[in-house]
C-alpha cells in the first residue's frame, strides 16, 4: 500500500513573519490528521523559521529546488547539503523552473541524483504544456520526462521518489484536469515508464501525485482514483483552511 502524500508548494510567497503565521494556523490541525504524509515547501528564506515551528510534529519540510553541487562558486544557488540541514524533501523540475529558469530533463536528472546522494526525498514534477496536450503529445512528453529525469538511479531509490503529474495547462489556471484523465496518465504513461526504468514492483510502490488547481472542493475527485496517491498543491496551500481540508480528504 502507498501512503497518501500531500505537499504544499508555496512558490514565491510569504515573508518569514507571514510563513510563521500560516504554519501556526495550520500545524495544530494538520497534526491531528493521521495516515497522510504532509509536507510544506516554503521559500528558502522561510525554511529555517518554519523548521523550528515543525519540531516535534509529523509535518515534513521541503525546499522548492536545489542545485546539484555540494559547495563552491555557484552564486545564488543552494546546495543539497544545505537543504538537508533543514529538509527531508525537495521539489525538482517544477514546470515553472522548466519554463522560466532553464530547467531541463538533464538538470532534473542531476538534481535527483544529488537528492539520492544526500538522502533527500525528491518530488519530481512532470507534465505536458497546453500545446503539447492539444497536439496529442502527452504520452511522449511525460514518458520522456520520467525516463530522462530518473535514469541511472537504483530501484531501491526509485520507490522513495515521489512523482507529481502536473499538466502545465492546469497549474494556477483554475482548470484542473479531470480525475479520470489524470488517473489514465499515471496508469498508462507514468507507471509503465517507471516499470521500464526500474521494475514492475518499484512502479507500483512509487507514490504519484496529481497537481494543478487542486482545491478543497475537487481534491476528493483525485484521491478516489486508484493510481493517484496524493497532491502537490500550489495556490490552495497558502490558505490554512483549504490546505487542511485537502489533507483531510487524502486521509479518506
Ligand atoms: P496550483 O499549483 O495548485 O496553484 O495550480 C500547483 C503547482 O504548481 O504545484
200-241 confidence digits (pLDDT tens): 999 999 999 999 999 999 999 999 999 999 999 999 999 999
User: What is the pLDDT averaged over residues 111-116?
Assistant: 98
The verdict on the CB of residue 108 being under 6 Å from ligand 1 is: no
Between CA 15 and CA 209 the distance in angstroms is 27
The verdict on the CB of residue 234 being under 6 Å from ligand 1 is: yes
In sequence order, the 6+-apart residues with CB closer than 8 A to the CB of 149 are: 92, 93, 105, 108, 109, 112, 124, 126
Predicted local confidence at residue 127, as pLDDT? 98
Predicted local confidence at residue 131, as pLDDT? 97
Q: How confident is the model at residue 87 (pLDDT cuts 50, 70, 90)?
A: very high
The residue nearest atom 7 of ligand 1, judged by CA position, is 234
pLDDT digits (tens, 9 = 90+) for 52-82: 999 999 999 999 999 999 999 999 999 999 9
The residue nearest atom 1 of ligand 1, judged by CA position, is 234
CB 184 within 8 Å of CB 172: no
In sequence order, the 6+-apart residues with CB closer than 8 A to the CB of 74 are: 67
Element at 197 (helix H, strand E): helix 191-197
Q: Which of 63, 113, 56 is nearest to 88 (CA)?
A: 63
Domain residue extents for the chain: 10-27+43-60, 67-236
Q: How confident is the model at residue 137 (pLDDT cuts 50, 70, 90)?
A: very high
Instruction: State which ligand 1 atom lies nearest to the alpha carbon of 176.
Output: 5
The verdict on the CB of residue 7 being under 6 Å from ligand 1 is: no
Instruction: State which ligand 1 atom lies nearest to the alpha carbon of 125.
Output: 9
In sequence order, the 6+-apart residues with CB closer than 8 A to the CB of 250 are: 4, 5, 6, 36, 219, 223, 230, 231
Does residue 2 carry a pLDDT above 90?
A: yes
Helix axes 138-150, 105-117, angle to 10 degrees: 40
Tell how far the Cα of 71 is from the centroid of ligand 1, in angstroms: 30
Higher-pLDDT residue of 82, 1? 82
Between CA 180 and CA 196 the distance in angstroms is 23
The verdict on the CB of residue 93 being under 6 Å from ligand 1 is: no
The residue nearest atom 2 of ligand 1, judged by CA position, is 234
Q: How confident is the model at residue 196 (pLDDT cuts 50, 70, 90)?
A: very high
The verdict on the CB of residue 235 being under 6 Å from ligand 1 is: yes
Predicted local confidence at residue 1, as pLDDT? 84
The residue nearest atom 6 of ligand 1, judged by CA position, is 234
Question: Collapsing DSSP states into helix, strand and coil, what is residue 102?
Answer: coil
Whole-number average pLDDT of the chain = 97
The C-alpha cell 526525498 sits at 121
What CATH code would you report for 67-236?
Answer: 3.20.20.70
Amino acid at each position: 500500500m502507498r501512503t497518501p502524500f500531500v505537499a504544499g508548494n508555496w512558490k514565491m510567497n510569504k515573508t518569514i513573519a507571514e510563513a510563521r503565521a500560516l504554519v501556526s494556523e495550520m500545524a495544530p490541525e494538520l497534526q491531528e490528521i493521521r495516515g497522510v504524509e504532509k509536507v510544506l515547501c516554503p521559500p528558502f528564506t522561510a525554511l529555517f523559521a518554519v523548521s523550528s515551528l515543525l519540531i516535534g510534529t509529523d509535518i515534513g519540510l521541503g525546499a522548492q529546488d536545489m542545485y546539484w553541487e555540494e559547495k563552491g562558486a555557484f552564486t545564488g544557488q543552494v546546495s543539497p547539503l544545505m537543504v538537508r540541514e533543514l529538509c527531508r524533501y525537495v521539489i525538482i523540475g517544477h514546470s515553472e523552473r522548466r519554463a522560466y529558469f532553464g530547467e531541463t530533463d538533464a538538470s532534473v536528472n542531476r538534481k535527483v541524483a544529488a537528492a539520492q546522494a544526500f538522502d533527500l526525498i525528491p518530488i519530481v514534477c512532470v507534465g505536458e504544456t497546453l500545446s503539447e496536450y492539444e497536439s496529442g503529445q502527452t504520452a511522449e512528453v511525460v514518458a520522456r520526462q520520467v525516463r530522462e529525469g530518473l535514469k541511472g538511479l537504483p530501484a531501491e531509490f526509485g520507490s522513495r521518489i515521489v512523482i507529481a503529474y502536473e499538466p502545465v495547462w492546469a497549474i494556477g489556471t483554475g482548470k484542473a484536469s479531470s480525475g479520470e484523465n489524470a488517473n489514465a496518465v499515471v496508469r498508462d504513461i507514468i507507471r509503465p515508464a517507471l516499470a521500464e526504468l526500474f521494475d514492475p514492483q518499484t512502479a507500483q510502490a512509487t507514490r504519484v501525485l496529481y497537481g494543478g488547481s487542486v482545491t478543497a472542493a475537487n481534491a476528493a475527485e483525485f484521491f478516489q482514483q486508484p493510481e493517484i496517491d496524493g497532491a502537490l498543491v500550489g495556490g490552495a496551500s497558502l490558505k490554512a483552511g483549504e490546505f487542511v481540508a485537502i489533507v483531510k480528504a487524502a486521509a479518506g
